[in-house]
């Protein structure tokens, strides 16, 4: 039975563009000059995402850049990340104020968690070492989304367009090394959020395992 509780890709892309403009005065421009938003210098053995997708026999049409444009008040951030086994790693230049939490049913199933946090990033600003495996999700609308993960350990890495050249990568926050510095700026698909999330702060939190002390609230 089709899942009626999933984001429509067109709506989601429009939301991201509008959200970026409202939040920081940042626009997403196709085929635009990068200005001060320059991705990390490419290192030997590292590939941009269009090369990785081509090797995986995913979309191979001409790549159209999607660049960050900045305002004087905006600060970009360089991040790194990797899968659990280390077979795939990446670096990226990101806008740290674009982190989203998605509560849609698909994100719950794919992540195996009550929600998923993502960092939308222009594909041209990401460089990847290693080759991910791709699963193409077909939405009720017919739109396709590539879900990329490590074929060895299964770590989810990113999602991107399923047809045509990749423009935006939704990097999975869990595999980003600097995830503790990337607080969400918005939540979407709250209609399908787990109803018990509001009470989570009252649930005892242990420092490590169940045998470890409970974290005491800060005064």
- The yes-or-no verdict on residue 89 having pLDDT over 50 is yes
- The yes-or-no verdict on residue 64 having pLDDT over 50 is no
Give the pLDDT of residue 205: 95
Convert the pLDDT of each residue in 137-152 to its tens digit.
998 788 899 999 999 9
Alpha-helix runs per DSSP H in the chain: 9-24, 49-55, 105-111
Average pLDDT for 125-130: 97
Domains in the chain with CATH codes:
9-193 (2.170.150.70)
- Picking from 100, 91, 82, the residue whose alpha carbon sits closest to that of residue 157 is 82
- The yes-or-no verdict on residue 18 having pLDDT over 90 is no
Give the pLDDT of residue 71: 31
Give the pLDDT of residue 24: 38
- The yes-or-no verdict on residue 34 having pLDDT over 90 is no
pTM for this prediction: 0.70
Q: What is the mean pLDDT of the chain?
A: 76
Cα 64 to chain centroid, rounded: 19
């Amino acid at each position: 039975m089709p899942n009626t509780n999933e984001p429509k890709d067109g709506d989601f892309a429009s939301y991201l563009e509008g959200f970026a403009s409202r939040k920081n005065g940042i626009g997403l421009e196709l085929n635009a000059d990068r200005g001060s938003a320059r991705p990390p210098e490419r290192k030997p053995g590292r590939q941009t995402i269009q090369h990785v997708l081509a090797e995986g026999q995913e979309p191979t049409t001409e790549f159209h850049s999607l660049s960050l444009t900045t305002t004087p008040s905006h600060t970009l951030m360089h991040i790194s990340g990797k899968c659990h086994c280390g077979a795939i790693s990446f670096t990226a230049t990101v806008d740290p104020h674009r982190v989203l939490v998605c509560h849609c049913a698909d994100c719950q199933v794919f992540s195996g968690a009550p929600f998923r946090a993502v960092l939308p990033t222009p594909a041209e600003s990401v460089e990847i070492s290693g080759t991910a495996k791709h699963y193409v999700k077909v939405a009720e609308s017919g739109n396709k989304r590539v879900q990329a993960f490590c074929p060895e350990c299964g770590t989810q890495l990113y999602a991107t367009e399923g047809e045509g050249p990749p423009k935006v990568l939704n990097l999975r926050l869990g595999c980003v090394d600097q995830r503790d510095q990337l607080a969400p700026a918005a939540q979407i698909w709250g209609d399908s959020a787990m109803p018990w999330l509001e009470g989570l702060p009252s649930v005892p939190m242990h420092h490590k395992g169940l045998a470890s002390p409970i974290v005491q609230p800060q005064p």
